[in-house]
Amino acid sequence: MQRRFKSTRGGIDVDLTDDEKVFLTGLLDLLAGIPAAADEPASRRLRVPVYLDDPESNEEWWRLMEGELHAARNADRRVFQHILDEGGRQHMSNEEADAFLRVLNEGRLALGARFGLEVEEDHDQLPEEQRDIMDYLGWLLEDLTSELSRSL
């Protein structure tokens, strides 16, 4: 596959196809539709326990921090949407690239949960289309992570 991200002086160049922009916009729609605290796989995956052995402390942490986390995720999603709205071919600052990376990862986690992925071996049991989606998102994450690492 052709690389989509390229590190440059002061950031990352991104070059997404029209089809990729449509798919990634759908990823934003998926994330926006996940209920905050519902008993739903994607919601549970994005609201992981902070204190595994202390449910009371865990609930307190989420009570205190959920609003801030929600605001940070929304800010990242606005950056992601802006990159897509700008045609998918542009320069991102390292901070914008970090936000883009976080949204890609959040989307991959949510889709994986909805597809029933719990352990690595589950990937091989997915229908081909779902495997392709997970592989594509993983490839984008790897490509962007690699380019961000070069810019350090």
Q: What pLDDT score does 150 carry?
A: 85
Helix or strand (DSSP H, E) at 70:
helix 55-85
Q: What pLDDT score does 36 carry?
A: 72
Q: What pLDDT score does 1 carry?
A: 67
Q: What pLDDT score does 118 carry?
A: 86
Task: Map residue 50 onto helix, strand or coil.
Answer: coil
Q: Tell me the pTM.
A: 0.90
Q: What pLDDT score does 121 carry?
A: 86
Q: What pLDDT score does 89 carry?
A: 67
pLDDT along the chain (152 residues), means of 10: 86 92 95 83 89 92 91 96 84 94 96 91 92 96 93 70
